[in-house]
Structures are given as C-alpha cells and as structure tokens.
Structure 1
Amino acid sequence: MSAARSRYTTRVLALAFAVSGAAGLIYEVVWADLLGLLVGGTTATHTVVLAAFMGGLALGNRFGGVWADRTTRPLRLYARLEAVSGVLAILSPTLATLAGQLYVAIAPGPDSALVFLDLPLRLALAAAAILPGAVAMGGTLPALVRATSERLGDLGSTVGWLYFIHSVGATLGAFGAGFILVPTFGLDLALICAGILYLLLAVLASLLDMAERTASQRPQPPPAAPAEARVYPAPIRRAALQTVFLSGIAAMIVEIVWTRVLALTMGGSAQAFSIMLCTFIGGIAFGGLIAARVARGDRDAFRPLLIAEAVAAGSLILLLPFYDSLPLLFHDAAGTVARERGAYPLYLAMCTATALVAMAVPTLAIGATLPLASRVATPSHDEAGRGVGSTFSVNTVGNVLGAALGGLVLVPLLGLELALRAGAAVLLLAALRLALVPGGKPLLARPALLALGALAVLLVVAPRWNPYLIHSGLYRSLDTDYGSEADFDASTDDVRFLFAEDDAEATVSVVENSIGHRLLRIDGKSDASNRGDVPTQVLVSQLPTFFHEAPKRVLIVGLGSGISVGTLLAHEEIERIDVVEISPAVARASRYFDEWSGAPLSDPRVHLYIRDARSFLRTAPADARWDIIINEPSNPWQPGSAKLFTEEFFALLASRLAPGGVMSQWVQTYEISDDVVQILLTTYASVFPDARVWNPRGNDLVLVASPSGLEPDTDFMAAQLARPAIAREMARVMPDGSHLGLLEFLALEIMGPTRFHANFRGGESLLPHHGDRFPVLQYEAPRAFFVGKRAEFFRHHDARRSERERTDLLIAGWLGDRALPEADLRRLEEMFLARGRMLDGPIARALIGERWERDPDDLDVLRALQRAGDLVFLAETQLWERTLAEGPPADAATCIDWVDYEFRRMASELNVFTRPRFSRYDAASKLCRARFPALSERLIQYTRRLFLHRVEP
C-alpha cells in the first residue's frame, strides 16, 4: 500500500471516528432519558445509567485493546464493533421498553421491606440494556489506534488526534441531540439515526479494510527500520495509569458540580444542559489536540502529562472563589439581549460564554492527559492497542467512581462548593503522584512539589462562596439592573438564610426578608412562599375535595412548602395522604413553613416518600388507588418537571384514580407562551377531556377533572364551605383573608368542560402533544421562559366574560335567572380588584360598569375604575357623552366611531354575573342606519362580531 493511500485511508477513518463520536453522544444522552422515564428520574438512576454506560466503555477499552493487538486486520474489527453498536442503537427503543416492563414487574413496592434492592435492580437493568452497546463503542478506539499508528513514537500524537476528532464529533452529537434530533424527531428516532450512522461507518470501514487487504497483496518495498522509540520504565507507566484513574474520578466530580452550578446560573433547562455538555466535551477535544501536537515525533510525554495535571488542578483552584459570581456575570451579559424569540440563539451564546468561563482551562488540561498517558503507559508498538485500551479503561473506571461519589456522596454530604474543592484535591493528588514517581524527572520534582504545595494552600484558604449570589436565581430577572456585586450585596441586607442545602437532586434554600416574607427556592427559583403563593397552594388541594363527597386516600406529587399537604388535614374524612417528593432537602426545608402549613409531616395520616413520582406510581401495588391525586410539580421549562406534564404521566395518574376519583393539576401562565400553555392543556385533555379550569390568582391555573366526568353539586360545595375548618382554609384563597362564600368560590372558575373540550380536544388545536418520547415542552418551554412574557390565552377565553346562557360555568347554573344584589356585586368587585389585573381586571371593569350605568357621577365608581386601570376608557366615555349632548353625529365617519365605541363598551361589560345590556349599542346602530343607509353593511359586520363575541367567549 502506498504512503499516499495510507494518508487517504487515515483521513477517511478520522472523519469516520468523528461521526462515531457524534453517534455515541446521541446514544448516551437519549438512553439516559429513556431509562430515566422507565426506571425513575432520580440522580441515583442517572448515576447507575452513567455507571453502566461508562463501565461498558471501560470493558470495551480493555478488551478492545487485547482484540486489536491479536488481529492482523484491525479495520475489520473496527467495522464489526461499529456494526454491533448500530444494531443495538436501532433496537434500543424496544430494549428500553422491555427494561421498563421488567422493572415494573419485579421492582419492590414503595412500602416493601425489600425496597433497598431497588437501586441494585436499576443498575442491573441498566447494565443489561446498555452494556453490550457500550462495550462495542469502547472497543473502537484501540482498534482504530492499532490501524492508524505505525510506530511507538507516534502513538501519543495518534491517540491525541483521534481523541480530538472523536471528541469534536461528540460535541456535535451533544449539540445535535439537544437542539435538533430530540426536539424534532423525538427520542426513538434520534436513537435510530445514531444506529444508521453506526451502520454506515461499519460499511465504510469494511470497504477500507478490503481495499487495504487488496493493496497488501501487491509487491511492496521493504519497510524502513523503525527508529528506536522512547520506552518508559515500569514505575512511570504504573504512575501514569494511577494518575488517569484519579483524573477520571476528579473529572466526573467536577463535571457534576459544574452542571449544578451552571443550572443555578442559567436555569436548568435542557438547552442549558446541552451547552454545558458541549462545552465540557469541546474542552476535552481541544485538550487532545494540544496533546497531539506536544507528543508528536516521539517527544517526551511524561513532562507534559505532569504539567497538564498541575494546570487542571491549578486552574480549578484559582477559579474556585469566582464561581459564586457566575450568576451575576451571566445576568449582566444575558441582560443585554432583547427578550424576543428571534434573539434566543444570542441568549444561548451568552450561556455558552458563561460555561466557557467556568470550564475552558480545566477541561483543556484534563483533555490532554489521556493521550499523553497512553503514550507513557504503552511499552511497545505491538502492545499499542492494549496500552491505549488499558489507559482509557482505567480512566473510565475512575469516571464511574467519580460519578457515584460526586452525585450520591460528596454533593449531598459536603455541598457543591466543598465537593468542587474535593475534586480539585483529587486532581492535585494525581499531579503529586507523577511528581513523586521513582525514576521520573528529578529536575521536575522539586519545582512541581513547590507549585503543588502552593496550590494546596490556596485550596484551603480560598474564600467561601457568597450564598446570596449562588442561590439568587438571577437568571429569572434579566431585566433588573443589580449593578456591581457590592450593589447586589446591599440589596440583600434585609434577607437572611434560614436553610440552605445541596442534595443529590437540587439546591434548596429558605430565605426570609425583614417583613416576614419567606420563600422556598429550588435551584434558585422561588417555588413556594408564605404569602403570594398561598392561594394557589391551598386551592390546588382543596378544589378536588369539592367534587368528591367522601375522599379517603389522597396522593400529592411534590411537597414544596407543605402548605398544599397541610390544608387537606382540615378534612377529617381523609384517612391517608401519600406525598411523593424527589428531593430530601425539600422535605427538610418544608419544616420552615410549619407555621403556615400546620406541620403536616408530623401528622400520622401523612406518609412521605422520597423518590421519583413515576417510579412510585409504577411500582406501587397493582390495586393501589387514590380518591384524589394532586400533581403540583415545578415549571415545565425544567427538564425534571417537564416529565411530569407528559401524556403518558397523565395517563399513569388517571390509571391510579379510584372510581369517581378526581385529579387536580397546577399550571402556570407566567414565564411562558400561549403555545406552551396550549400544548400542555392539549396534552392534558388527551387524558382528561372534560376538565374545569380555575384561577386561584392572576398567574396560576388549577385544572380539576375526572376520567368518568365530574358531577358538581353546588349544595354540597356550600355545605363544605360552611364547615369551620374548611372555611378557615378557604379564606386563605382570598387576597385579604376574608370569608370565601359560595359566590366567590364559583367566581374563580374561568372555563367549563364544554369550552375546554372544544379548545383542547375538539379538533381546534393543531399543536402537538407533549410525550415521554417526544418531549416538546422540554425544548419549547425554555424559549418561552427566555422571552419572559405571560400567556394571554385565558385572558381572551375567560368564559366569565360571556352570557350565562352561553357557558357551562357552575356559577351560571347556580345563578339561573337571578340578578345579583348590589352588595354581592360589590363583594365580587372588591375581590377581583384585589386579585390583580391579569384575568380579573376585565371582570372587575364589567361589574363596575353595572354601577356606572346607574350613576356615572358616583365618585366611588370613578375610584373603582381607576383601580381597574380603565381611566382611558372613562375619558373616552366622557368625551362621547359631551359630543352626543350636542346632538346625533353629523357625518358617517363619526357615526361609525360612535357605534364602534358602544360596541367596545358593551363587549367589555359582558359577563356572567350581570344581565347583558345591548340597548345603547342597539340605539346607536339603529340611529346610524336611519341617518346613513350606506352604512348598513358596516353595521352588519359589527353585529356579526357581536354574535361571535357572545358565542366564543
């Protein structure tokens, strides 16, 4: 084979290995999501999935090296390994489903004495599903090294280039999976795409192998005698392997902490995670490129290896004091981006820049270690496959241990900051091992020890993080200018921390300001409070009890502050409340709200389960049913929460409802778009098509539904509200804590089942469903979060703004033909004005219009209009009154403006609480028709608009 042909083959193989890296990352990312859905979405589950995958890679590295050294056709071996990977990737959706079904069949239940076997079972299933494919992937690098390296002296450079190319491909794969494949095609097709790539690579490698075999049969000039290559003594080779083992542990600890810190900095969206992964792997890739250049031509690889380890440790230690400033740095950078959908790529660029600041230098150094260590640890070219395979397998075993230690031990035990310091300490230990190796470089030992000692001192004395910054959640307030870090500190002078903890799942804190406003924050986001969130926290739990006359068992997904749990204790008929919460830190933090929640975790009726809700429901006894299920996860732009809004999860909840059971679901309308809300509700309607929608406060919705259909009884509801304990709880829904009667309670319903079915199930919505394997919301909701607007759908489809005869709201049936007394109208008006303008402002305006019609000069009415924000409309009304006092409009244009004004006034006052008034509009329309017959067609259009407004509230 000619040298030119050899170079051509090498380049083609390099490109193929980049594609292999991309397919590998798609495979890993999607498998983690699939198994998380099927056997649970906790950090422990993700750790066992990662352990199974990395363990398979380690086995593949180790045995692939042995196979590569034994074969005379390494390209054929490479082709077979890629083919195995491809077949298994294509079969992955089926394998994942089988693993999930097997888990449900044999997993111990939540109350089983064998529940301690749950985690080993997940590991076994993950290993059975992932291991074969991972072993095949792990074997490709040693096979390719054996196929492309010609002598020992080039080994470091060859491994560095291949590592660089493979990691660049992996970076593109992480990007493609997170931003293109999964959002566009879903999980299953993404895996099939990866499998097809693998099979194409197998065909390509087979063709190259046949071409090489044909070329090798031709006469070839005798090869030149290889130059004598550097061989490192056995102690140095052992030290190199020990170093990459320690480096592997440290790399995973640090990556886990970086992921969590960047989630606190940028929010934990799927795109933010993809950016972190791309940045990490990209740094590793360019570290491999540096190693390739440093180690070419049989240059010494030991000294660069020691320097790389020292730089990795040193850069991480020097960055330690600045990680708590990342939230403010990101806030200031991302705050310059316009909050528009088209600017989202620029926002992601700011996310990438922030990740680079945090990770670039350490990952470059870590990425350089493996190629350099491979060269040091390989004693001869005949053992190139074994040497490279051993180096990578030892490092991967370190990765597995690091993932387990970091995610399950260090972060929960020490917290993020000390866990990061522990990772830096392990990197220091790795560098120290090289500096002290017998037979090493004596001239390097003393300066290396001095430098490492200085870094150790810095590690110990480095300033601690500012908890106010790291827990601040500044990514949610990009429009606020906090100034410098000192200015930010000044703004938190009246805030004190009551609780702060990092567990395996989340970073949780409880803060309180000087006026007693207490917040529960999860990953920087306020998820509950003792004030503004209370109406929602109470109503989401109380509402279903008004549709079920004798609930005995209740299930709540998400503990939060505990207020949603505690409010149910007012119902003596409830015998058991099961609460599923994924984060143990949230359970501990909820104790700081006992004053407002009634300390529900101390009540014997409440049973707390710290686990993933999906696995809890799937492994609960087959006959376990609940009369009421309350699903109250966090916002859907967070990946973990998004999985609790899928069609499959809603169906799982429905399957666990007892006959006549009622489901209650919280939905946000802030930091979200109309499309996202409609996707969510369309998904919900696919399982619960006849839901009722309630509005506990301006930005929150509560959906209540039953698979068998709700059977509301307003007499029963009135009796419930008359019970003293329940009345006290329901008063918390009112803005001022006053008594909430049946009138006020029914007035909070904004859409009935007929309109809900028509909007979200009746064929009007063309938006996709959010599913387990097609997670639309997981990728669409973060865009809406970035824009930061509120969904306006229910503002324009509030059924309270329609006539009683044209809506199935409960209050319409309860009122019948009755007119509300003025005292009741005043009560509703005050309630709506106090609750804010998001949905209730137009309703308040309509009620005020009733009094305004009677007495336009009443100062109390004018003040109410001012509170409702309708002074502009008032000014327009006064202008028309003065104009019409002088006589009817004199020209057609003025007449049309008058009719338009009367139409808008009439439409704005249309509501379910008062009888409609069309007289002013009818009089204006009739007069204009008479004076200007040519306007008849225009006036017919207004009449059509009126008809549509009345039919389509």
Structure 2
Amino acid sequence: MPDTKKMIGSAVGEVLAYNTVGAILGAAFSGFVIIYIIGIERSLQMLTIVNIGCGLLVLAGIKNVRLMNWTEAGIAAALLIIGINHDILRMWNMKYFAVFRANQPDAFNTPDKIKEALENTDVLYYKEGVEAIVSSIKIKGGNQAFLTNGRVEASDTPGDLQLQFTLGHLPMLLHRNPENVLVIGLGSGITLGATSVHPGVKEITLAELAPEVLGVARTFGRYNNYVLDNPKLRIIFNDGRNFLLTTKEKYDVITADPIHPWFRGAGYLYTTEYFKLASEHLREGGVMCQWLPIYELTIADLKSVVKTFTMHFKHTALWLTYYDSVIIGSNTPIVFDEAELERRISVPAVSNALKLVMMGSARDLLSYFAMGTDGMKAFSEGGTINTDNNLYLEFSAPLSMGKGFLMTNNLDAIVKHRESILPYLLPAKEQSARGKQFRPWKTYIEAAGVYDKAHILLLGEKFNAGFNYLLNELDRKYPWYAPGRFLKSEYSSLMAREPRLLKQTPPLVMMDERGAKVTIEISAVLSRISDEMAIVDFVDNNARVIYGHLNVPGLNRDEFINRFVDDVLSSIQKAYLKEARIAFDRGKRLPSLESMMFKIKEIVTSKIHESESRLVNSPS
C-alpha cells in the first residue's frame, strides 16, 4: 500500500511538472517565436493540429504501433503543408486587420463598407507581434497612416506632421549644442528623423519596444529622412523607461512620443517616477520633450500630466500645435534667442521640414508657444500627481475614449493660461534695440487672442458667423501669423472635402405599383478625398439611394469628371424619355418606377465600368 501511494504521488507530481514546463515553454515559444515567424492565424492552426494530433497519438498508441506511426506522419504532413503553403486554409483577411480602425467602427459595420475600405486602401506593411499588430496603410490618392491594434498612431496629414516635426526639431533647437540624443518610441520615425538632420549630432539612441515597428517606419522614409539607415543611429529593443533604468548614459535631448495615455501600459510613461528618471538622465543644459494629447483626455487629466511633469523640471514650456500639445522641460533656464534660432532653422533639411507645417522661421516657430513655467504651474494647480502606485491616468484616461468634445474644452482651459513670450526671449543688448525687438511680439499676442477663439470653434466644427468673423480678422489684421495661416489652410482643406453637387437631372416623374406619382432627381455629387483622389456618387437624395460611385485618381481631373457626369445624366434622361414613350404607347400615363429604377442602376453601373477602364489605360 505505501508503495502504491508513493507511485501515485510520483505520477501526479510528474504530470504536474510536465504540465507546468509545457505551459511555460508553450507560451514562450508561441509568443516569442512562431507568431513572429508565421503570424497569429497560422500559429493557432498549428497549435490546434498539434493538440488534436497528441490526442490522436494517444488513441492510436492504444490500438497498435503501425497506426501510431501513420498518425505521426499525418500530423507532420499537415504541419508541413500549412507551413509551406501560405494561402491554404486561410480564414482571416489580413488586409482587413491592417486597415480596420477601432475608433471608427461605423466605417466597417456593413459588408459594403468593408469592401469599399479594402478596395480604396493600399497596405504598405503589416506585421503581427507579441505586443501589437502594426500596419502602414495609404488611402488611394489620400493620406498614409500608421496603425497599432486598429488605432491610428501617426500619419502624414498636416496636423500629424506638425506634431511629429515639433517633437523632433523643437528640443534640438532649444538646446545650444545637442550631440547625444535619446528618442523614446519610433512610430513613423518622423520625430527620430527630425533629430538626425541637425548638425553636430554625434549619436542618436532609439528605445523601441516592438521590433515590428521598424517596418512601418521604412514606409515613411520620405518624411523621416530614411533615418533607419543613418550610421549615427543605435537601436535598443527595450521599453524606454526600462532602458533609462538600466543605463548610466546622459543625454542632451530626450524626446518621447508615447502612445495615448489610455492605451494599455502607457500610463507608466506619464508618472512622476518616469519624469524623475528622464530628468536625471539629462546633461547640463539638457532638454526633455514629450507629447501631450489634448483629445480624449479631461482637463483634470491634462492638469495631472502637467503638474507631474513640472515637479521634476525647474523650467518648462508648452507648445500648442493644431490638435496636440508638446511640453518641454529643462533644469537650466529656457531662453529663446531669435537670432540663433533663425540661424539654426536655416539649415536646409530643418527649414524644408518646418516650412511644410508653417514653422519655417524663428518667429513662426515661436508663435506656437503657449505658456512657460509660470503658466504651466498656474494651469496645473489642483492637479493629481500621477504615480506608479496610484496610476491615476491609467484608470482615468480610458473613460474619455470617443469623447470628441473634450478637445475643445481642453483647448479653452489651456489658452486661458496663455502667457506672453516676452519674459522668455533673450533681450537685445542695446536698450533702443529692445523696443524694436519686443514691439512685434505684442501684436503676436493680440493675434493669438483671435486665433484661440477661431481654433476652438474649428476643432468643435462650429463653422458659424462668429467663426467666419474671426477668420476674416486673422486675414485682415494678422495674415503673417503662422498658427492662423495653418488654421486657414486646414479649414480650406476641410471645405474642399465637403460633398458638392455637380449636376442633377430634371425631375423624373414615374408611377409606382399602386398607381401613385413618384418624382425623383438623380444627382451627381463630388467628394474630394485629397488633391489626388475624388469620388463621384450618383444619388437620389429624397429616397437616400446611392446608385454607384466612381473613384477618380490623379491630379487635374475636373474635365474628365465633368464629361463623365454629363454622359451619365444625359443617358439617364434619354432612357427616361424612351420609357415614357413605351408607357404612352401601352396606354399608360407614366413609365413604371420599378422598371426605370432598374434602368438607372444599369446605366450608372455600365458607365462607371467604362470610365474605370479608361482611367486604368490613362492613369495620369
């Protein structure tokens, strides 16, 4: 009896030990090896085959050895087939995962919308990793974007480019002579690339957690100066905070573009412990720069970040870009030397990038300054310190997801604490020259007052009479004010993308199956996705029916579009007159609604196919 108990105990112990070791090795192997090599779907399929195969092997072993050998061969063959043939047994549409946006579910809630999204989007890169699924996509004729788990993290829209260039260029320009730079988080690589073009930089260290993001950054090469091929670059595959914990190295500039605070684990990059760590890794005169989104966060959240940040930097500043903010910290005074800034911005690679986002001169760049040390302390008064222990932001930020109205609330709260830039400017040596230096900035402060009101209305999409008045004021009094020029440019782009009626048929009167008169008008509506892509829809607005649409890629296609619209609408009118004659000959007053609707759909579909063929044969 004791031997039996001992045998049973030993057997149970061995089973538990094997199970524990198997669980550890299985998790490690699947997460860190096979997902990288063959992806999530193939990994699941292979593991399913292995699990089923193990069960079959046990059953086969009970019967006879030969059956067991055949089972082993079958399992090996199945694994080999799905390992070699990348298309067999595919159940997931990888392109769908690449283009899906989690914060825009309405754009993917019907099969037709999904089909349209897949047809109109090019996938430049897609990779599944342990931390995330990442992709780089480009809307045909439109903008390019970097997605992490279905969330857009960066793009080449003017607003995003402005933020990313600011994160890279601003701290480099504020430091007197940056040589050693740390960039935390790669993303599109635009921020990293911006730091690389400044003369005097000797080494750039990139701390990036997810190796698969490198492929994304390569697709943004024209914006990031192909920085991944820069010999000055050293890449550390590690969490940025962990890297700072393990290195003794200090930096002239640390710039961080972390993901939004509501993203899992991102709150640790906004805590007092992290900011303290960053501050301790700055050299004398070093500058810290960090992204602070003003959307999908509450005013209390912003106050928390700003207060936590200012605890560890004696001197701070906040820049407002189009729909983001950038916070700057240093332990030496932050002084803006206009002449020196102008000289350093004049470097072609720096100037060319900043001109794209209306920051191409010292005055333009400094126009986006919102507040300094005093203003940030006043704004953050009453804020909660975000720590590793309370993780205030980790729990608070997700409650703001999808609440677009918060952006205007936040912007309004920030600009109420806007400061004059004058106390932070390096004054001219001569007293007489100081008046000449400071006088224009007083006008800039007046311009900011008008701009702030217009900015809040624009982000809130309140294009009312008040907004138009403010826009006219910016045009009339402050046409040189860079943030105002950027705002007007964005507003013009928004208006250009509004659907516009091109032409419509005369009223077409028909008779439905109950003998009642029905009048319809077919309208051709133009929507511009970008300068390089337009969409022409044929719709019946009253019945809310879309008969079809044509995607028109390329520049200067107005003449083609007008000819196409005229052709379709005239064909519909001819078809209506023909149906009316047929109805009259049969003794009916009006053509049949059902028959005519079918004819319209047929004509629109046919003309779209003809035009698509012409566009393919003459793409430019």
Q: TM-score range by the shorter chain?
A: 0.5 to 0.7
Larger radius of gyration: 1
* Residue 135 of structure 2 corresponds to residue 509 of structure 1: yes
- 1:817/1:569 CA distance change after superposition, 3 Å: closer
* Residue 310 of structure 2 corresponds to residue 685 of structure 1: yes
1:770 paired residue number: 386
* Residue 108 of structure 2 corresponds to residue 482 of structure 1: yes
Three-state SS of the structure 1 residue aligned to 2:382 is coil
Gaps of 5+ in 1: 1-68, 71-378, 855-863, 869-953
Deviations 1:222-265 (A, max 9, x none): xxxxxxxxxxxxxxxxxxxxxxxxxxxxxxxxxxxxxxxxxxxx
Q: Provide the rounded CA distance (Å) in 1 between the counterparts of 2:227 and 2:349.
A: 15
Alpha-carbon shift at residue 469 of structure 1 (Å): 2.4
1:523 paired residue number: 149
Deviations 1:174-211 (A, max 9, x none): xxxxxxxxxxxxxxxxxxxxxxxxxxxxxxxxxxxxxx
Q: Do the aligned partners of 1:415 and 1:502 also contact (CA within 8 Å) in 2?
A: yes
Alpha-carbon shift at residue 709 of structure 1 (Å): 3.5
1:423 paired residue number: 47
User: How many positions carry a matched residue from both structures?
Assistant: 467
2:201 paired residue number: 574
- 1:786/1:838 CA distance change after superposition, 3 Å: closer
* Bigger RCO of structures 1 and 2 (CA < 8 A, at least 6 apart): 1
2:337 paired residue number: 713
Name the Cα RMSD after superposition.
Answer: 4.4
2:273 paired residue number: 648
Q: Which amino acid aligns with 2:365?
A: F
1:227 paired residue number: none
Q: Provide the rounded CA distance (Å) in 1 between the counterparts of 2:239 and 2:9.
A: 42
* Residue 413 of structure 2 corresponds to residue 797 of structure 1: yes
1:558 paired residue number: 185
2:28 paired residue number: 404
1:611 paired residue number: 238
Q: Which amino acid aligns with 1:389?
A: G
Q: Provide the rounded CA distance (Å) in 2 between the counterparts of 1:715 and 1:844.
A: 36
Q: Provide the rounded CA distance (Å) in 2 between the counterparts of 1:845 and 1:716.
A: 37
Q: Provide the rounded CA distance (Å) in 2 between the counterparts of 1:780 and 1:425.
A: 43
- 1:431/1:537 CA distance change after superposition, 3 Å: same
Q: Do the aligned partners of 1:750 and 1:800 also contact (CA within 8 Å) in 2?
A: no
- 1:672/1:692 CA distance change after superposition, 3 Å: same
Mapping of residues 92-111 of structure 1, within 5 Å: none
1:272 paired residue number: none
2:284 paired residue number: 659
From 701, 726, 731, the counterpart of 2:355: 731
2:563 paired residue number: none
Three-state SS of the structure 2 residue aligned to 1:691 is strand
From 357, 374, 386, the counterpart of 1:754: 374
Q: Provide the rounded CA distance (Å) in 2 between the counterparts of 1:391 and 1:773.
A: 39
Alpha-carbon shift at residue 496 of structure 1 (Å): 1.4
Q: Do the aligned partners of 1:510 and 1:520 also contact (CA within 8 Å) in 2?
A: yes
Three-state SS of the structure 2 residue aligned to 1:424 is helix
Three-state SS of the structure 2 residue aligned to 1:408 is helix
Q: Provide the rounded CA distance (Å) in 2 between the counterparts of 1:759 and 1:385.
A: 66
- From the two aligned structures, give the one with the greater helix fraction: 1
Q: Do the aligned partners of 2:319 and 2:326 also contact (CA within 8 Å) in 1?
A: yes
- 1:454/1:661 CA distance change after superposition, 3 Å: closer
- 1:786/1:714 CA distance change after superposition, 3 Å: same
Q: Provide the rounded CA distance (Å) in 1 between the counterparts of 2:375 and 2:212.
A: 41
1:947 paired residue number: none
* Residue 325 of structure 2 corresponds to residue 701 of structure 1: yes
Alpha-carbon shift at residue 466 of structure 1 (Å): 0.7
Q: Do the aligned partners of 1:496 and 1:511 also contact (CA within 8 Å) in 2?
A: yes
Alpha-carbon shift at residue 413 of structure 1 (Å): 1.0
Alpha-carbon shift at residue 612 of structure 1 (Å): 2.2
- 1:765/1:839 CA distance change after superposition, 3 Å: farther
From 293, 297, 307, the counterpart of 1:668: 293
- 1:426/1:678 CA distance change after superposition, 3 Å: farther
Alpha-carbon shift at residue 599 of structure 1 (Å): 0.7
Q: Do the aligned partners of 2:49 and 2:75 also contact (CA within 8 Å) in 1?
A: no
2:218 paired residue number: 591
Q: Provide the rounded CA distance (Å) in 1 between the counterparts of 2:423 and 2:472.
A: 24
1:155 paired residue number: none
Three-state SS of the structure 1 residue aligned to 2:439 is coil
TM-score normalised by length of structure 1: 0.44
1:905 paired residue number: none
Q: Provide the rounded CA distance (Å) in 1 between the counterparts of 2:46 and 2:340.
A: 60
Three-state SS of the structure 1 residue aligned to 2:27 is helix
Alpha-carbon shift at residue 562 of structure 1 (Å): 1.4
* Residue 257 of structure 2 corresponds to residue 635 of structure 1: no
Q: Provide the rounded CA distance (Å) in 2 between the counterparts of 1:765 and 1:831.
A: 24
From 46, 51, 56, the counterpart of 1:432: 56
Q: Do the aligned partners of 1:690 and 1:756 also contact (CA within 8 Å) in 2?
A: no
Q: Provide the rounded CA distance (Å) in 2 between the counterparts of 1:773 and 1:828.
A: 40
- 1:766/1:730 CA distance change after superposition, 3 Å: closer
Q: Do the aligned partners of 1:744 and 1:828 also contact (CA within 8 Å) in 2?
A: no
Q: Do the aligned partners of 1:643 and 1:772 also contact (CA within 8 Å) in 2?
A: yes
Deviations 1:112-161 (A, max 9, x none): xxxxxxxxxxxxxxxxxxxxxxxxxxxxxxxxxxxxxxxxxxxxxxxxxx
Q: Provide the rounded CA distance (Å) in 2 between the counterparts of 1:605 and 1:850.
A: 43
Deviations 1:716-742 (A, max 9, x none): 2233334443221211222xxxx6333
1:357 paired residue number: none
Q: Do the aligned partners of 2:412 and 2:456 also contact (CA within 8 Å) in 1?
A: no
Q: Provide the rounded CA distance (Å) in 1 between the counterparts of 2:48 and 2:401.
A: 34
Q: Which amino acid aligns with 2:458?
A: R
- 1:548/1:498 CA distance change after superposition, 3 Å: same
Deviations 1:7-40 (A, max 9, x none): xxxxxxxxxxxxxxxxxxxxxxxxxxxxxxxxxx
Alpha-carbon shift at residue 640 of structure 1 (Å): 3.5
Three-state SS of the structure 2 residue aligned to 1:765 is coil
- 1:853/1:486 CA distance change after superposition, 3 Å: closer
Q: Provide the rounded CA distance (Å) in 2 between the counterparts of 1:486 and 1:452.
A: 39
Q: Provide the rounded CA distance (Å) in 1 between the counterparts of 2:412 and 2:81.
A: 59
Q: Provide the rounded CA distance (Å) in 2 between the counterparts of 1:822 and 1:471.
A: 47
2:361 paired residue number: 741
Q: Which amino acid aligns with 1:745?
A: L
- 1:482/1:432 CA distance change after superposition, 3 Å: same
TM-score normalised by length of structure 2: 0.65
From 586, 593, 601, the counterpart of 2:228: 601
Alpha-carbon shift at residue 830 of structure 1 (Å): 9.1
Q: Provide the rounded CA distance (Å) in 2 between the counterparts of 1:758 and 1:828.
A: 19
2:121 paired residue number: 495
Q: Provide the rounded CA distance (Å) in 2 between the counterparts of 1:849 and 1:833.
A: 10
Three-state SS of the structure 2 residue aligned to 1:639 is coil
Q: Do the aligned partners of 1:559 and 1:565 also contact (CA within 8 Å) in 2?
A: yes
Mapping of residues 364-383 of structure 1, within 5 Å: 383=7
Q: Which amino acid aligns with 1:514?
A: K
Alpha-carbon shift at residue 810 of structure 1 (Å): 5.7
Alpha-carbon shift at residue 643 of structure 1 (Å): 2.2
Q: Provide the rounded CA distance (Å) in 2 between the counterparts of 1:803 and 1:645.
A: 24
Alpha-carbon shift at residue 833 of structure 1 (Å): 6.7
Alpha-carbon shift at residue 774 of structure 1 (Å): 3.2
Alpha-carbon shift at residue 758 of structure 1 (Å): 2.5
Gaps of 5+ in 2: 428-433, 479-487, 493-620
